[in-house]
Copies of this chain bind each other. A is one copy, B any other.
Amino acid sequence: MSMTPEVTTYSIQDVAKAAGTTSRTLRHYQDIGLLMPSRTGHNGYRYYDGQALLRLQRILLLRQLGLGLPEITKVLEGTRDTTAALRRHLELLMQERDRLELQIASVKTTIDKTERGEQLMAKEMFDGFDHTQYKEEVEERWGKDAYAKGDRWWRGMSDAERASWKEQSKQLLADWVAAGQSGLAAESAEAQALAQRQYDWLASANDGQEVSFDYFTGLGDMYVADPRFGTNYGGEQGATFVRDAMKVYADGHLK
């Protein structure tokens, strides 16, 4: 062993490369007092020796395990026991993992529900009327070529417009369901706002053609009569809620 500790020192880049990190990180560690350079040149350059490199490696190891820098500081200065810190950290990690699992499950079911909702909305727009008792009336008011018109309208839109419209439809359905579930009254502002959106939605799908009182309320009745709508709108009482809200809206605005 050498008497004079003629220690070899390394530039900041050398250390960074050797440890697989960046010079910015080393400066940061100095800023927070986690790892000081062993020497600073007259020009301000930072120089590190083997001891610092070793400490850095331990820092990076702990950081790779997910520990925070303040915690690492305490561990390295001996204030906190390593295994105790790791065990405590392990708890957090597992907790976080559990939270993620739940979130993943939620996202999966949401995707599922959204997809089914989307399909149903599309059907309702274009061929839903084929199966209802209001077919004749609807055809009378909207024309026998309602579907064809709707199709042209659909094709006339840009991709962005189509995406926007689909999204609106989905939102509308979701919002109706949410409103129905929350037990709102048909006369409530929220429900009426939804009815307004429903009106606009219908009108927009027909080139802004006016929607009559009769058609709007009739549509509401159809929602209750047709089990498909009950299913989509959260059960029979959901459809009832929608119909009632639409009726209130029609009474106040169309007539």
Residues of A within 8 A of B (CB): 1-3, 5-9, 49-51, 53-54, 57-58, 64-66, 75-83, 86-87, 89-90, 93-94, 96-97, 100-101, 103-104, 106-108, 110-111, 114-115, 118, 160, 163-168, 170-171, 174-175, 177-179, 181-194, 196-197, 199-200, 203, 208, 210, 234, 241, 244, 252-253
Contacts and interface: CB of A to CB of B under 8 A. Distances in A.
Contacts of A179: 54
Contacts of A2: 183, 185, 196, 199-200, 253
Nearest to A10: B189
Contacts of A108: 90
Contacts of A188: 8, 50
Nearest to A179: B54
Contacts of A86: 107, 110-111, 114
Contact of A100 (B93, B208, B244): B93
28 contacts: A1-B184, A1-B187, A1-B208, A1-B210, A1-B241, A2-B200, A3-B185, A7-B189, A50-B191, A51-B190, A51-B196, A54-B175, A54-B177, A54-B181, A54-B190, A54-B234, A64-B106, A65-B107, A75-B167, A76-B171, A77-B164, A78-B165, A81-B166, A82-B114, A82-B167, A90-B104, A90-B107, A97-B97
A189 B75 contact: no
Nearest to A182: B51
B82 A93 contact: no
B90 A111 contact: yes
- Chain A binding surface, main DSSP class: helix
B78 A160 contact: yes
Contacts of A64: 106
A179 to B, nearest CB: 7
Given A78-B163, A83-B118, A100-B96, A253 B5 contact: yes
Contacts of A5: 182-185, 192-193, 196, 253
A185 B80 CA distance: 30
Contacts of A106: 64-65
Contact of A89 (B8, B107, B166, B253): B107
